[in-house]
Structure 1
Amino acid sequence: MTNRSTWINAAIGAVITIALSFTGFSPLLGGGVAGYLQRELPKRGAKVGAISGAIATLPVVLVMCLGLLLYAGIPAASLGAPGGLELAIIFLIMLPMLALWFVGLSTAGGYLGGYLHTSSQPPTEGNLRVEQ
């Protein structure tokens, strides 16, 4: 199903997503690049885009976990901030939403990247791999 180039293209898209993370739509761009590099039909481009989004989610989750651990060491009563239970609930709500944002936008970008590749070049054996 997936070959080595799929993982390489997904990793390239994830790096682009992380590098452009200061924009709100970086998963769309990273997934689009991954889908375009995959050189397949848009449906397969969406798949590599989704993989790219999942890979790009990992560093963001690790940074959030580090922030949670650092924040846990600060006494919440002195800051007037939410306590441990409230913070854990916020954290558990934000992680799935963040993952849906990254994977969803990357999937859409991968589909668009695959579509751009197939529509910009005539389908020949050299530039389009067709599923069998």
Structure 2
Amino acid sequence: MTNRSTWINAAIGAVTTIALSFTGFSPLLGGGIAGYLQRETPKRGAKAGAISGAIATIPLVLVMCIGLLLYAGIPAASPGAPGGLELAIIFLIMLPMLALWFVGLSTAGGYLGGYLHTNSRPPTGDNLGVER
């Protein structure tokens, strides 16, 4: 059994998060996979999950920036529709909230993944408390 790097496990979790982005809880699943693959304590799994969430946030930011650039040049169709400046303000408020959502759920998933890994091993002398 090889011990992969935290960054590789986080990248696998981020790809899972992006692939399952059509669900509302994909950061939780991606972080859980990263934490489980970390094969260490739940605290280290949470770290891998948090990194996974940060990596998975990058495509979200890029898509939002492209959308902002495309929409900013279009004049408002109706008097109550937000224009470019209002949309930029909304963007600056929503982006940190979405990043916190991704990183927070991924961290929780990473903790749960690490917990599942440490408590799902088959019983051996190492985790039964038997001294050798």
Q: TM-score range by the shorter chain?
A: 0.7 to 0.9
> Is residue 8 of structure 1 aligned with residue 29 of structure 2?
no
Matches within 5 A, 1:77-96: 78-80=77-79, 81-96=81-96
Task: Give the count of matched residue pairs.
Answer: 122
2:25 partner letter? F
* 1:66 matched residue in structure 2: 66
- Indicate how the Cα distance of structure 1 residues 72 and 123 shifts in structure 2: closer, same or farther if over 3 A, else same: farther
Between the aligned partners of 1:97 and 1:123, the Cα distance in structure 2 is: 42
1:34 partner letter? A
Between the aligned partners of 1:20 and 1:91, the Cα distance in structure 2 is: 23
The answer to which of 67-76 and 49-58 deviates more is 67-76
* 2:54 matched residue in structure 1: 54
Deviation at residue 123 of structure 1 after TM alignment: 8.6
Between the aligned partners of 2:123 and 2:111, the Cα distance in structure 1 is: 17
1:13 partner letter? G
* 2:32 matched residue in structure 1: 32
Q: 1:79-100: CA deviations, max 9, x gaps?
A: 4421222111100110010001
Deviation at residue 75 of structure 1 after TM alignment: 1.4
- Indicate how the Cα distance of structure 1 residues 123 and 111 shifts in structure 2: closer, same or farther if over 3 A, else same: farther
2:64 partner letter? M
Q: Which runs of 5+ in 2 are unaligned?
A: 125-132
Compare the two structures and name the one with the higher helix fraction: 1
TM-score by length of 1: 0.86
Deviation at residue 73 of structure 1 after TM alignment: 2.1
1:27 partner letter? P
Deviation at residue 35 of structure 1 after TM alignment: 0.2
* 2:114 matched residue in structure 1: 114
TM-score by length of 2: 0.86
